[in-house]
Amino acid sequence: MRLLPPVPFVGRELEEDTAFGEYVVPKGTEVGMLIAALHQDPEQFPDPEKFNPNRFDQLNSELSQQSSVEENSNVRRDPFAYIPFSAGPRNCIGQKFALMELMIVVGTLLLNFNIESTQTREELGLRPALTFHPAKGIHVKLTNRH
């Protein structure tokens, strides 16, 4: 969700002149926000290329009460540094459903199987479109744990 966010970018049309740092972008401009790049900001995620789920550990014990993805981010991190479901009034309406589904599916798989990837990240052959797709599928080896 951080390194390869399924939705790599979102767009908005500015309703008013908006300042981004030293630049003022006029009303009506279409702005693209590259979530995939945002998630690799080394100031927010040191050693950004590294897959390290422990980055999100701090509040994991509160996961069951979590009401938004941001709450599961490191508290010292900018609240908008990690936005796989976007943010604001038009963010993902399926966010909570998707997270529940993810936890159930991934949890059930991990309880029952050891999972080993047979590809490197480069071999996934990412095909960026509206959503990120692996060009040739995701190949894993499952070994029964029981």
Rule CB under 6 A: which residues touch ligand HEM? 6-7, 10, 84-86, 90-94, 97-98
Residue 44: CB minimum distance to ligand HEM, A: 18
> Is 92 one of the annotated binding-site residues?
yes
Nearer to ligand HEM, 10 or 44 (CB): 10
Residue 88: CB minimum distance to ligand HEM, A: 6
Nearer to ligand HEM, 15 or 22 (CB): 15
Residue 69: CB minimum distance to ligand HEM, A: 9
Nearer to ligand HEM, 59 or 92 (CB): 92
Position of minimal CB gap to ligand HEM: 94
Q: CA geometry: angle at 8 spanning 56 and 17, to 5°?
A: 100
User: What SS3 class is residue 134?
Assistant: strand
Q: What is the Rg, in whole angstroms, of the alpha carbon atoms belonging to the chain?
A: 18
**78 burial type by CB count under 10 A (0-12 exposed, 13-18 middle, 19+ buried):** middle
Element (H, E) at 105: helix 95-112
Residue 91 CA from chain centroid, whole number: 13
